[in-house]
Amino acid sequence: MDWPSGHALATALVTGLLLGGLFTVTALGLSLVFGVMRLINLVHGELLLVGAFFAFELGLHTGLDPLLSLVVIVPVVFLVAYPAERILLGPLIGKGAEAPLMTTFGLSIILVNLFVLVFSADTRSLQASYATDSIQLAGIDIPLIYAISFGFALALTAATHLFLQRTGYGREIRAAAEDAGAAEVLGVNVARAYGITYALGASFAAVGGVLVGLAFGFDPSSGTSWLLTGFAVVVLGGLGSLKGTLVGGLLLGVAESVGASFPQVGDGYRNFIGFMVFLVILAVRPRGLYGRTG
């Protein structure tokens, strides 16, 4: 087997690490919703696309920079997702896993068809100078958008941790995640905690969608592939673990990038390599890297 050169391997390691930041952002909302609500949110991929299409339309009609558009997109998505969870999912939570799961699946199908109806099936991308620029780090060319995504991953993970640990709403969410019944007895508004959690998860997904649109482009069917990537990150890191989501995203990014650097493999097998590493690690640690042991 031919090995990549030292420079190629170093480039793959650094690029993969930064790409893993993008994976982390796209999976963070999925991890948060499952960790608190025990809900597998099958509409998560389409929520990413909501952010991407929203930013595209804002750029088209107002010229707003995609990253600056997050100032508009995040609060709008939060304010829409909160009542949507209360109306569509809230009454079903705690009454079996099937009904809320199928509801999110139905929402996914509806959104995909709405995207095709409104935007057509064409592939789009978000335009900005930093989407195609690169920077030099120790002689290694790095896509600037990967570095930006890595910064977002660190910032969002840290901000979410501080929110959960240091605020009243965060303490309510942690109590609801540990034992919803006991939390209600102690006066915690569990329904509100779930609504906030879901709205935060949707907002994080929208942020991830904007970064995806800048880095790769998107179309109405792109949500499924990013949902699968999100599942891999969340399960790899440990279900519901914020730290695990960050580590899982970075590990998956490095695995894909380093594997693709081998001449016999190439870029077309990135996903195959990533999921093979995913399966190997789960064979050793079935609960993921930071999953609960009991």
**Residues 246-266: pLDDT tens digits?**
999 999 998 888 877 776 565
State the average pLDDT for the chain.
Answer: 89
Burial of 265 (0-12, 13-18, 19+ CB in 10 A): middle
Higher-pLDDT residue of 25, 272:
25
Question: Do 229 and 44 meet the contact criterion of CB atoms below 8 Å apart?
Answer: no
Choose the most confident range, by mean pLDDT, from 24-33, 136-145, 235-244, 284-293: 24-33
pLDDT in tens, 53-97: 999 999 999 999 999 999 999 999 999 999 999 999 999 987 878
Percent of the chain with pLDDT over 70: 94
Domains of the chain, CATH where assigned: 6-284 (1.10.3470)
State the average pLDDT over residues 174-192: 92
Using CA atoms, how far residue 94 sits from 15, 169, 180, 279, in Å, is 42, 21, 9, 31
Phi-psi map region of 262: left, alpha, beta (phi>0 left; psi -120 to 50 alpha): beta
Predicted TM-score (pTM) of the model is 0.92
Could you tell me where the DSSP H helices lie in 134-221? 144-166, 168-178, 180-185, 190-215
pLDDT value at residue 294: 41
